[in-house]
């Protein structure tokens, strides 16, 4: 009988999205509904676990943590990439790191939810109605505005098609983007500086890697229009946090709509919680019923395969 610990099940729903009973004769499954911020506490709570389940990058597993978990043999993460796990250290320690499938549509859908909420002031107007008031803002149109997408993969492509349906002028850039891919989606292909300087909305859809970390710093944010909205539903560290806070404080951006942050959960009192003109959501991009069914269903399959000695979805290091 092995111990399995499912981390960061904040909503207390993981047990309802997969057939965990299939493991009952070989594993004891424990669900954690809190977040273990302190690495020492994390190690203490996981010292007995042979299998740990990590939800995305909510909990980090650097070498300094992995080295202190001698019982750990399988680390399962949601998705087939996790920048918070030291894959080289895991391999050296004999820890298998596996992943799951992920659904693309939910994050693209949330991206548009954030754009519409920010530009039409939906949270503020909702609160005004609750407070017995009426209209207090003037919204911004999408039609004929420019949407700049940094990244045009599966997710960025979905966001692009919605922008085109709104009659927006859509352009894109990434280090790997080709004219052929831009033509396939039906968007313009421009360099990064032009995208930043001309777009009314800039939305990020890149993997986090050494090459993309801090991609938007002070120089890049200063290129953006003061009327532009920055949207990030990918990874917080793609944008230099200090530079973003400064741009917002100085009024150099219309605002930011953020679903991701450098540190998650965002600590109480964090400066982004109170920064002006920021619409926040707590990394909800993938948090849907269908996503959880796929993620936790694959988690159970990965654990079963590992117990059976069968082939398993093993993570490879993310490309630069």
Active site amino acids: 235, 264, 283
| Helices within the chain (DSSP H only) | 39-46, 63-66, 87-92, 105-119, 122-130, 154-165, 179-185, 192-198, 218-223, 241-249, 271-274, 289-308
Token pair listed for 195: 């995208």
Locate 277 and state its tokens.
């003109």
* Cis bond before residue 285 (omega within 30° of 0): no
Q: Which two tokens stand for residue 306?
A: 């590992």
Helices (H) and strands (E) in the chain, counts: 12, 12
Count of CB atoms within 10 A of residue 158's CB?
19
Tell me the C-alpha to C-alpha distance, in Å, between residue 292 and each of 16, 100, 220, 264: 9, 11, 36, 19
Please answer whether residues 84 and 60 qualify as being in contact, where contact means their C-beta atoms are separated by less than 8 angstroms: yes
Task: Report CA Rg, the chain.
Answer: 21
């Amino acid at each position: 009988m092995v111990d399995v610990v499912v981390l960061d099940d904040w909503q207390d729903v993981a047990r309802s999205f997969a057939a965990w009973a299939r493991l009952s004769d070989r594993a004891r499954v424990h669900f954690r509904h809190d977040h273990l911020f302190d690495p020492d506490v994390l190690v203490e709570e996981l010292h007995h676990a042979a299998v740990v389940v990590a939800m995305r990058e909510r909990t980090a597993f650097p070498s300094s943590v992995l080295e202190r978990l001698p019982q750990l043999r399988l680390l399962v993460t949601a998705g087939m990439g996790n920048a918070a796990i030291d894959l080289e250290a895991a391999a050296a320690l004999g820890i298998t790191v596996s992943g799951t499938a992920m659904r693309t549509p939910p994050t693209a859908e949330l991206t548009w939810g954030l754009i519409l909420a920010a530009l039409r002031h939906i949270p503020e107007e909702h609160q005004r109605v609750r407070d017995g008031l009426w209209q207090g803002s003037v919204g911004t149109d999408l039609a004929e505005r420019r949407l700049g997408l940094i990244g045009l993969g599966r997710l960025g492509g979905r966001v692009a098609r919605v922008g085109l349906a709104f009659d927006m002028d859509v352009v894109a850039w990434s280090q790997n983007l080709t004219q052929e891919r831009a033509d396939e989606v039906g968007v313009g292909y421009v360099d990064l500086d032009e995208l930043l300087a001309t777009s009314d909305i800039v939305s990020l859809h890149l993997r986090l890697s050494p090459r993309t970390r801090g991609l938007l710093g002070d120089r890049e944010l200063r290129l953006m229009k003061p009327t532009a909205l920055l949207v990030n539903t990918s990874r917080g560290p793609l944008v230099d946090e200090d530079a973003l806070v400064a741009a917002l404080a100085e009024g150099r951006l219309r605002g930011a709509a953020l679903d991701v942050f450098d540190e998650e959960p965002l600590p109480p009192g964090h400066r982004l919680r109170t920064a002006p003109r920021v619409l926040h959501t707590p990394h909800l991009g993938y948090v849907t019923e269908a996503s959880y069914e796929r993620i936790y269903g694959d988690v159970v399959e990965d654990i079963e395969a590992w117990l059976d000695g069968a082939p398993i979805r093993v993570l490879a290091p993310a490309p630069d």
